[in-house]
Amino acid sequence: MKKALFTLVTLAGLLVFTSARYDEPADSRVGHHAPQLQMTNAHGTMSLQQYRGQQYVILTFWTSSEPESRIANMRYDRAASRSERVAHMSVNLDRSEQLMEQLVKVDRLSKLSQFHCADDSRDQMVAKWRLDEQGPMSFLIDLEGNIVAVNPTVEQLEHI
């Protein structure tokens, strides 16, 4: 009886372990599955997950104090507006949402894709996307939700 019970428990354990699906944890490095991200602005809510299987996403993190990130945001916004295959999602990390809104107007950016990261979630966002290591960056995310490039060129976007 003990032998039969042991065999049954062993088989049940094997079944559980072999049928479990393993998903690689999200990571903000090239070749990894992008962390989940959902942002809301006055025009609605946008998430990376809504584009899976439909469009590539260029995700841009920027601040007014980092001119290179602001210029990259403008370039990516314009490139995405010319492409049916690429969506743009932009996250501003400035402390002032009003400053971001003014810069969106001045830079003539699409208001639909521009989001401000609130103070209470900024540190989490920076850690999750490893922005503390190199500052504001941009990520190209493919149809499956994997990061395929960091700080891609506009030419790379045009060839998608």
Domain residue ranges of the chain, discontinuous segments joined by +: 26-158
Q: What is the pLDDT of residue 119?
A: 85
CB-facing half-sphere around the CA of 19: CA atoms within 13 A: 6
Neighbour tally for 128: CB within 10 Å:
15
Q: What is the pLDDT of residue 45?
A: 94
Would strands 147-150 and 38-41 be described as parallel, antiparallel, or unpaired?
Answer: unpaired
Q: How far apart are CA 54 and CA 50, in angstroms?
A: 8
For 155, phi then psi, to 5°, come to -60, -40
144-150-156 Cα angle (round to 5) = 80
Q: How far apart are CA 87 and CA 77, in angstroms?
A: 9
> pLDDT (tens digit, 9 = 90+) per residue, 126-150?
999 999 878 899 999 999 999 999 9
Average pLDDT (27-43) is 90
Three-state DSSP state, 39: strand
Q: What is the pLDDT of residue 8?
A: 45
CATH superfamily placement of domain 26-158: Glutaredoxin (3.40.30.10)
Tell me which residue of 4, 51, 28 sits closest to 128, measured CA to CA: 28
State yes or no: pLDDT of 21 exceeds 90: no
Q: What is the pLDDT of residue 67?
A: 94
Residue 19 pLDDT grade (very low, low, confident, very high; cuts 50, 70, 90):
very low
Q: What is the pLDDT of residue 35?
A: 93
> pLDDT (tens digit, 9 = 90+) per residue, 70-126?
999 999 999 999 999 999 999 999 999 999 999 999 999 999 999 999 888 999 999
> What are the structure tokens assigned to 67, written together?
């001119």
How high does pLDDT run on average in the chain?
A: 86
Residue 26 pLDDT grade (very low, low, confident, very high; cuts 50, 70, 90):
low
Q: How far apart are CA 90 and CA 103, in angstroms?
A: 13
Residue 18 pLDDT grade (very low, low, confident, very high; cuts 50, 70, 90):
very low
> What are the structure tokens assigned to 90, written together?
């932009």
Q: What is the pLDDT of residue 28?
A: 78
For 84, phi then psi, to 5°, come to -85, -15
